[in-house]
Structure 1
Amino acid sequence: MVRLRSAAESTFGGLPGAFWWLWIATLVNRLGGFVLPFFAFYITGPLHRSAVFAGAVAALFGAGAAVSGVVGGVLTDRIGRKPTLIGSQLANAATIVVLGYARSTWALALGALAVGLATSAFRPAQNAMIADMVPAGDRVRAYALNFWAINLGFSFSMAVVGLVTHFGYRTLFYADAATTTLCALLIAILVPDTTPVETIRARARSSSVAVGDGRKREGLGTVLRDRTFIAFVATTFVLLIVFCQYNSGLPMAMSASGLSAATFGRIAAINGVLIVLLQMPVTRLLKRYPEGRVLAGAGLVIGGGFGLLAFGQSIEMYVLCVVVTTLGEIGNTPTGQAITARLAADHLRGRYQGVYQLAWTLSQVAAPLVGGAVLSAYGGAPLWIGCFAVTGLTALVFLRIGKHVERRVAAARSAEAEAEADQTKVTATAIADGQQPELATA
């Protein structure tokens, strides 16, 4: 009993109340996440369109999401965390309802693009807000809890989607929009804005540049010039091309093996169940290791899961593949978000998270192209062996990046300590001279 209480405390304790309100809002949003997972089925089923058209619509959604993540990151730093979160959620709800009424080819295509442009803008704001709220030592745990809420809500929505469709497919769009709107209302009422004061100062500096005071404008270019971070995003993108074979190469291979879509659905459902059951225990276990090593190890586990398919493609092997790759996903996702928060200055966290989001959105576009091309030209075994080989290379890069991150964090801490020491000296001198400390530091 004591051990159970200790585990619960180390998992859920010590985080601010505002984080839990944001967590609840995220869970509510995902409880109604009906539309996107079943949109391709909706197009090819009730709307009787081709699979090619469904793929093109999915690509438009992905393109919109890629743009949305970066724009959302810029807005997060420019207008604030909370306004971006609320605005993006309300826009997402509105575009989902409109998409529910789309029937023509152009309406469906433009509707999917509009949903994509709205749907990913909240992620940089949410991740930046978590970094603002939670101390650096607890951020991996906080991001893991957020990821857990996403999968908990997703598992519920997939379990009840059949019940919802009894009222008609348009009900899916209304229900999704309703939970998204409720999420926005919860954030508006219960979650404080964590936008740092430096964001306001950055706005002032942007206008002072035109006057010619010699200051450099800090914006998206600052992020793109961060070589360590860009190397991290590029390596993550390569790893995610492997991981996203879960949604592209894996179903293609299972179909070629004569397995049905229903069988794929049942095996794929193992992913969500394992994340709900294991995300927090595994996160507690990995907390003792440096983040670079966790990313390297998680990548190897993902590659190893796909590599197992080179030894056979039975149902049992597919199940084992999903189990192993899910363990890698559990280690990778919250750790990557935490490293992004570590590398970003407070007033640039939105932009950093937005660029990091590109690795996810673009990999979802690239993975089907890569997986399909390799499967068509060479077959399954080369694809799965190649997945493991690629993750071996990404592991080496992550280890190197991890060392750079630790050096940057150590240097930042040293600079902060020196600044505090200097401030203490200035204050002490002012007091000794009979001055007010505020006047000495102005």
Structure 2
Amino acid sequence: MEIRLWNPNLKVRLFGEGLFNLLFWMYYPFITVYFGAALGSHIAGILMSIPPIFSIIGSLLGGALADRVGRRPVMLLGASLQTVMFALFAMSSSHWTDYIAFIGIGLGGAIYRPASSAMVADLVPAQNRRQIFATFVTANNVGAVLGPALGAVFFFHYRQELLWTCALVLLLYFIAMYFIVHETLPQSAKSSPDASIPITRVFKEQLKGYGIIFRDKVFLVYILAGIFALIPIMQLDLYLAVYVINEVPAQPLFTWNDGSLVLSSTEIFGWVLGLNGLLFVLFVLPVTKWFRHWKERNVFILSSLLSGVGTFSLGLGTNIWFLFFITIIFTFGEIVRSPVTQSFISRYAPEHARGQYMGADNLQFTIGRFLAPMTVFLSSWVPPMGIFSIILVVACISIALYIQLFRMHAEQPEAAE
């Protein structure tokens, strides 16, 4: 489905979200370092564990509201909250106000996303949705490639200007949505009996459903394994940022005759993030094809092994090209995992409860994001190789849990197809 044939709603979203995602990746990877330098690494580690809690609340709220008041109002609410919080961040002279603004930005994004995804499902036939979502993911990953390299300069030297630019872009996006984007809430949702159920009751019903799901021992082991597997993967913008900026010296990327291109520690980290994003853009589809005949068990184990060993190996050297090589290793650990998680849970979940299981599946990312910053907290007392050793142990725990998972749940033949 060519972009020129897309509904105007989708075109506005693709352009607006793609531009904002570029700006997002110019500041987000450096937030941990920013708060660590201002408040101390141990406090920063604790502070970075709190935003995921607000993300859970925002996602539940955004999803519930999107089915009741409509997609467009919820998207406008999320975008306006982010705009205000970016302006607050730009004007702030207090690090604690900065932190409140950072939480507000994340909350606004969490409110926005469920309505945004629902709008795609409303507008696009089922056979075209995968292509549309893939286009949005590709646009976001382009931002993840370029953003960190630019942010390594702009965030630390022109932070206020960058934050004001984010606020302005979101304001323009809000205006574009207000005048161009139309409501897509299906008539069936408007007339549904659930539409009259209070939001508080919706939350209670969802929590009750999660309670039933987590009495499923196989699924519980799957979630635990996922949490331990994601902690090493999530270090890219957490402890890895602290380590590279504080421990890796400035060094030349290239040398020629009497000249050289010297990168600072911050710029090296930006290039590492950019390489990570570029690998995703180039290899996520080929890697998915390469491993399509592998059993899910083996893919999960390979992912944890590559991400754990790769992250641990970062502590073995500080040469820029060595860091790039190791980045390739742990990035492939993340890439091979991406398509398998959804295929496993969609196959395992009973048909009548597939939606609830898919929702509960997201908790491994939220809980992982909550626990992952503990490495930053511990870095105030534990040397780098100690932190990298902890990360490796966590990856080994995930491997053991995945082995146990597939002992408890015999793989079905189609998993190997």
TM-score (norm 2): 0.70
Quote the Cα distance in structure 2 between the aligned partners of 1:187 and 1:239: 38
> SS at the partner of 1:244?
helix
Equivalent residue, structure 1, for 2:212: 225
Matched, 1:91 2:77: no
Equivalent residue, structure 2, for 1:241: 231
Number of residue pairs aligned between Structure 1 and Structure 2? 384
Q: In the TM superposition, what whole-angstrom CA distance separates every residue of 1:165-190 from its partner, at most 9, and x where no partner exists?
A: 79953221221123334444555635
Equivalent residue, structure 1, for 2:364: 359
Summarize the alignment of residues 166-245 of structure 1 with structure 2, pairs less than 5 Å apart: 168-184=158-174, 189-190=180-181, 193=184, 197-198=188-189, 200-203=191-194, 206=197, 219-227=206-214, 232-245=222-235
Equivalent residue, structure 2, for 1:154: 144
Q: How much does 1:323 deviate?
A: 0.7
Equivalent residue, structure 2, for 1:37: 29
Equivalent residue, structure 2, for 1:376: 382
Matched, 1:27 2:24: no
Summarize the alignment of residues 277-356 of structure 1 with structure 2, pairs less than 5 Å apart: 277-286=282-291, 295=300, 297-306=302-311, 308=313, 312-313=316-317, 315=319, 316-333=321-338, 335-336=340-341, 355-356=360-361
Change (3 A) 1:139 1:372: farther
AA paired with 1:17? W
Equivalent residue, structure 1, for 2:6: 17
Change (3 A) 1:197 1:235: farther
Quote the Cα distance in structure 1 between the aligned partners of 2:130 and 2:290: 12
Alpha carbons 2:83, 2:171 under 8 Å: kept = yes
Quote the Cα distance in structure 2 between the aligned partners of 1:370 and 1:164: 26
Alpha carbons 1:128, 1:341 under 8 Å: kept = no
Q: In the TM superposition, what whole-angstrom CA distance separates every residue of 1:207-226 from its partner, at most 9, and x where no partner exists?
A: 8xx9xxxxxx9544324423
Q: How much does 1:103 deviate?
A: 1.8
Alpha carbons 1:300, 1:391 under 8 Å: kept = no
Change (3 A) 1:108 1:27: closer
> SS at the partner of 2:373?
helix
Quote the Cα distance in structure 2 between the aligned partners of 1:291 and 1:144: 22
5+ residue gaps, structure 2, are 251-264
Alpha carbons 1:92, 1:115 under 8 Å: kept = yes
> Identity of counterpart residues, as a percentage?
20
Q: In the TM superposition, what whole-angstrom CA distance separates every residue of 1:380-421 from its partner, at most 9, and x where no partner exists?
A: 5633541441332354367577958989xxxxxxxxxxxxxx
Q: How much does 1:327 deviate?
A: 1.8
Q: In the TM superposition, what whole-angstrom CA distance separates every residue of 1:236-289 from its partner, at most 9, and x where no partner exists?
A: 222211212333444555578654633344333321221222233334545666
5+ residue gaps, structure 1, are 1-11, 211-216, 408-442
Cα RMSD between the aligned structures? 4.7
Quote the Cα distance in structure 1 between the aligned partners of 2:354 and 2:209: 9
Change (3 A) 1:299 1:44: closer
Equivalent residue, structure 1, for 2:253: none
Quote the Cα distance in structure 1 between the aligned partners of 2:291 and 2:187: 30
Q: How much does 1:65 deviate?
A: 2.9
> SS at the partner of 1:90?
helix
* Range that drifts further, 102-111 or 301-310: 301-310
AA paired with 1:124? P
> SS at the partner of 1:203?
helix
Quote the Cα distance in structure 2 between the aligned partners of 1:119 and 1:28: 15
Change (3 A) 1:305 1:40: closer
Alpha carbons 2:141, 2:281 under 8 Å: kept = yes
> SS at the partner of 1:155?
helix
